[in-house]
Amino acid sequence: MTRVFQPQRLDVRAFAEEGAELTGDARIADLPRLAQEARGQGADRPVHWHAEGELVNPKHVQPEIWLHLDADTVLPMTCQRCLEPLDVPLRVERSFRFVADEETAAAQDDEAEEDLLALSRAFDLPALVEDELLMEVPVVPRHEVCPVQVQLSAADAEFEEEGPAENPFAVLKGLKNGPH
């Protein structure tokens, strides 16, 4: 009999032991931190995710517990170069190895090439999906080629340009030598 797993309270060990899979769809509005990045735009845009559990070396005394995650969405943002709307595709493909607790994860983190998480019987999979998508958000979103001409300089038409500025060292030299 196949168990039914709940993404918000996932028993990771049981999920991996069964080699189970979960697929989900959410909206950007369902993931509040991701929605905040979109600044209220695209709340109904879909977020798709798929998770698979895997038990590596199941006959070993301490088998490895893995979770493989794929997630994607398109986040509406503002181009920081032209200030026009920009759709940023976000895609995550990561695998996580679960260890006994936070202390073990911290101790093994420097040597491990994979991402480590603490094992839980009530793991919040949607929160992991949101965390991973947030890490894919660009710091400075911008178009490859902006759809409008970008003004790269600023000038004030009313600004009167004066002649060349006097060299401050020449002024100092004049003060040093005194009046002639």
Residue for token digits 């976000």? Answer: 90
Average pLDDT over residues 130-141: 96
Mean pLDDT is lowest, of 5-9, 128-132, 148-152, for 148-152
Residue 154: predicted pLDDT: 67
Q: What is the pLDDT of residues 76-100, one digit of tens each?
A: 999 998 999 999 999 999 999 999 8
Contact indicator for 25, 47 with CB cutoff of 8 Å: yes
Q: Give long-range contacts, CB 8 A cutoff, 24+ apart: 162-169.
A: none
Sort strands 46-56 and 64-78 into parallel, antiparallel or unpaired.
Answer: antiparallel
Residue 157: predicted pLDDT: 66
Q: What is the DSSP string of 53-103?
A: EEEESTTSSS-EEEEEEEEEEEEEEE-TTT--EEEEEEEEEEEEEEESSHH
Residue 10: predicted pLDDT: 96
**What DSSP state is assigned to residue 146?**
-
**What DSSP state is assigned to residue 10?**
B
Sort strands 85-99 and 115-118 into parallel, antiparallel or unpaired.
Answer: parallel
Contact indicator for 95, 115 with CB cutoff of 8 Å: yes
Rounded to two decimals, what is the model's pTM?
0.78
Residue 149: predicted pLDDT: 83
Q: What is the pLDDT of residues 24-50, one digit of tens each?
A: 999 999 999 999 999 889 999 999 999
Residue 161: predicted pLDDT: 64
Residue 62: predicted pLDDT: 82
For 4, 155, 161, the CA distances from 158, given in Å and listed in that order, are 71, 9, 9
Phi and psi at residue 54, to the nearest 5°: -145, 135
Residue 109: predicted pLDDT: 83
Contact indicator for 108, 116 with CB cutoff of 8 Å: yes
Looking at the chain, the whole-number percentage of residues with pLDDT higher than 70 is 90
* pLDDT band of 178, cuts 50, 70, 90: low
Q: Please say if the pLDDT value at position 1 is more than 60.
A: no
- Spell out the residues 6+ positions from residue 48 whose beta carbon is closer than 8 angstroms to its own: 23, 24, 25, 71, 72, 73
Q: What is the pLDDT of residues 46-81, one digit of tens each?
A: 999 999 999 998 777 788 999 999 999 999 999 998
